[in-house]
Structure 1
Amino acid sequence: MHETDDETTDPDQVRKHTPGGGVKPAAHPIDPNVPEEFGLVQAWWGNGKGKTTAAMGMGFRAAGHGYRVHMLQLMKGGADSVEAVRGEYNAIESMPGFSYENLGHYGWHGMQDGSKDDSHKDEAQAGYSRAEELLRAAAAADLTGELPLDAPPEDGMHLLILDEILYAADRELIDPADVIALIEKKPEHLELVMTGSHNRPEYLLDHADLVTNVRKEKHPIDEGQRGRKGTEF
């Protein structure tokens, strides 16, 4: 182990070399701002809990810096244990600069939940068309400048979350090639986040900058635990 000199072991000097220079983080008013390094493509997949949660967490963080964020959910339904009003929607509604829309059919494709699989495909296709519209809106906006926090997503966004789009592609509700086409249409400064699928999205590996496998080690659902209010919805 290498030794340090007295200067670097002094508490005041050590604090100066930490992120933020040792200044304790504090909350500030949220005003429109411009991201300096956005423009990557992220993919979050796996059989573990937390893909959508991670994407929304990034959304809240970005919105907290004054960036414009929008989330489009393609397939977010749920079982009969999930209420129509979700906690995340209430939270997003109260967050400046963060908006959402859900075009998914109630329930999950391939499950015995009373919904029809044909309807899932129709709505997934509608969700894909909406994603194309949002990318065109982002391309038409000046993403190197501030965007009004209360403006509709048609006026552009700095970060776009396409929630469950990888699940829709995995279930062949949309073509994986079309997912790649969305990436190719992405404007340079837009941060694009895609979530979903328990299967590794091989088709995305050469097109995404960040790919995360959210892996399950243990989940109470395996013991019959239903979705819990405040953690799953």
Structure 2
Amino acid sequence: MLQLYWGDGKGKTTAAMGLALRALGHGQRVSVVQFLKDGTSGEISLLRRCGATVRACPNAKFTWQMTDAEKAEARANNNAALQAALAEPFELLVLDEACAACKSGLVEEQLLKVAAARAKTAEVVFTGREPAEWMQTAADYSTEMRSVRHPYAQGVTAREGVEY
């Protein structure tokens, strides 16, 4: 099954990582690729300790802050991480921020389509704000996270241990 957690609201990554923890608790092989993230958020060390394979972008930062060279490096790293994940057996593959990586050209779209095709034999999860049309069409589950109220609008930044 292909699951898609998308939208401007909080909880996309949280839902995907919760699913990963549940799968690990049942002895399943879990692989996570974090696009546009450096792999230092709080859940990552726990997922690794529980047996998940986690790959992240080593030069993660906002795309509008990247130079063309940094974008090329990120694309190469992201493609390599996704290819490595697809080469290993898994029951669950989480592609965190796949929507944004696809939209910004920081991962090869065809590789994401290959990952989506694996949803015939495994669980595959895409997260992000603006999924490509083909992602919406291919998704077996599509959950939109919509922001109704967010503390950031009042100047409250992310809190360690809760949001990163």
Q: Normalising to structure 1: TM-score of the pair?
A: 0.63
Aligned partner letter, 1:190:
A
- The Cα of 1:199 is off from its aligned counterpart by 2.2
Match of 1:162 in 2: 95
Contact 1:104/1:127 (8 A) holds in 2 = no
Bigger Rg, structure 1 or 2:
1
The two structures have a TM-score, normalised by structure 2, of 0.86
List runs of 5+ in structure 1 lacking aligned partners: 1-39, 78-83, 138-155
Give, as a single letter, the amino acid of the residue that structure 2 aligns with 1:41.
Answer: L
Percent identity of the aligned residues? 30
Aligned length: 164
Separation in 2 of the partners of 1:174 and 1:60?
Answer: 25
Q: Larger % of strand: which?
A: 2
Matched, 1:223 2:154: yes
Provide the secondary structure at the position in 2 that maps to 1:110.
Answer: helix
Q: CA RMSD in A?
A: 2.2
Return the structure number with greater helix share.
Answer: 2
Q: Is 1:93 matched up with 2:26?
A: no
**Is contact 2:33–2:82 with CA below 8 Å preserved after alignment?**
yes
SS of structure 1 residue aligned to 2:64: coil
Aligned to 1:108: 62
The one-letter code sitting in structure 1 at the alignment partner of 2:47 is I
Equivalence map 1:101-180=2 (5 Å): 101-111=55-65, 115-116=66-67, 118-137=69-88, 156-180=89-113
CA pair 51-117 structure 1, distance change in 2 beyond 3 A: farther
Q: Does residue 205 of the first structure (1) align with residue 159 of the second (2)?
A: no
